[in-house]
Amino acid sequence: MRFRPCIDLHQGKVKQIVGSTLVDDPAAVRTNFSSDLPPSHYATLYRQDGLVGGHVIMLGPGNEAAARDALAAWPGGMQVGGGITADNAIHWLERGASHLIVTSHVFHDGVLDRERLVRLNRLVGKKRLVLDLSCRWRQGGYYVVTDRWQKFTSLRICPETLEDMGAYCDEFLIHAVDVEGKCMGIDTRLLDLLAASVPVPTTYAGGVATFADLELIRNSGRQLIDVTVGSALDIFGGSGLRYQEVVAYHAKLAPAP
């Protein structure tokens, strides 16, 4: 299990937001943390600690300059997502993204658009593509959500779906949106489903609050489940986990060279 750091961008600033509240009405958005430091500060920190494979996520429009600031601080060290399409994919790779994280572009009216998915796969290659299959629980199952996690799609997270989607990408990024940003503990039901089914490396995000949550992910993840931590970290105003302790914890898990 690896620690995958994050830089979430909202209105041009590094923030930690309760995912389920990320709607168009600014008054309804619940923000846990908003930083006065530039995105490059966090990217530089992650670079110094050798945390490869983290993600920069643009939560809505107006975050492009902030994303470029983060990527410039560590070319090739971080992935980027949020509004990625076939039209701008090369732009973001040229700006230093190691991978492109894609969700909404490959769905139309809540239905998977396989033609777009195939086009992206051919354009950037399987090894540069990450599918964001962030999901919410509804009607007895987990369904992928798009457009800042507010719109349900018809794609249900199940072993067959994961096997199918894994053929097109290098990794999955999956936020448990129902607990995202709430520091209330992880979604163990979703974690168990992923641990039993994912065919490619997968980063789980959502609800991580304590070292007990990290241990649970490590023990059940079959070495395919990595983790990202947001609101609970002290660098994002949290009190549940100290960033340097999380880095040290995962360093101990790293295999010997």
CA distance 92 to 115: 21
- What sign results for the dihedral spanned by CA atoms 125, 127, 128, 134? positive
Q: What is the pLDDT along the chain (257 residues), one digit of tens a residue?
A: 999 999 999 999 998 876 555 656 566 667 777 899 999 999 999 999 999 999 999 988 899 999 999 999 999 999 999 999 999 999 999 999 999 999 899 998 889 999 999 999 999 999 999 999 999 999 999 999 998 788 999 999 999 999 999 999 999 999 999 887 677 789 999 999 999 999 999 999 998 999 999 999 998 877 779 999 988 999 999 889 999 999 999 998 876 55
Nearest to 129 by CA among 170, 80, 173: 170
**Residues 143 and 114: beta-carbon distance below 8 Å:** no
CB under 8 A, 24+ apart: contacts of 117-122: 117/168, 118/168, 119/86, 120/86, 120/89, 121/168, 121/169
Question: Which tokens is 125 given?
Answer: 């290659």
pLDDT digits (tens, 9 = 90+) for 198-250: 999 999 999 899 999 999 999 887 777 999 998 899 999 988 999 999 999 99
With vertex at residue 107, the alpha carbon angle to CA 103 and CA 108, rounded to the nearest 5 degrees, is 150
pLDDT reported for residue 25: 58
């039209």: which residue's tokens? 87
Q: Which residues touch 238 (CB under 8 Å, ≥6 apart)?
A: 16, 32, 33, 183, 230, 231, 232
At 112, give phi and psi (nearest 5°).
Answer: -60, 130
pTM above 0.85, yes or no: yes
The CA–CA distances, whole Å, from 87 to 67, 83, 90, 93, 124 equal 17, 10, 8, 12, 11
CA distance 60 to 256: 40
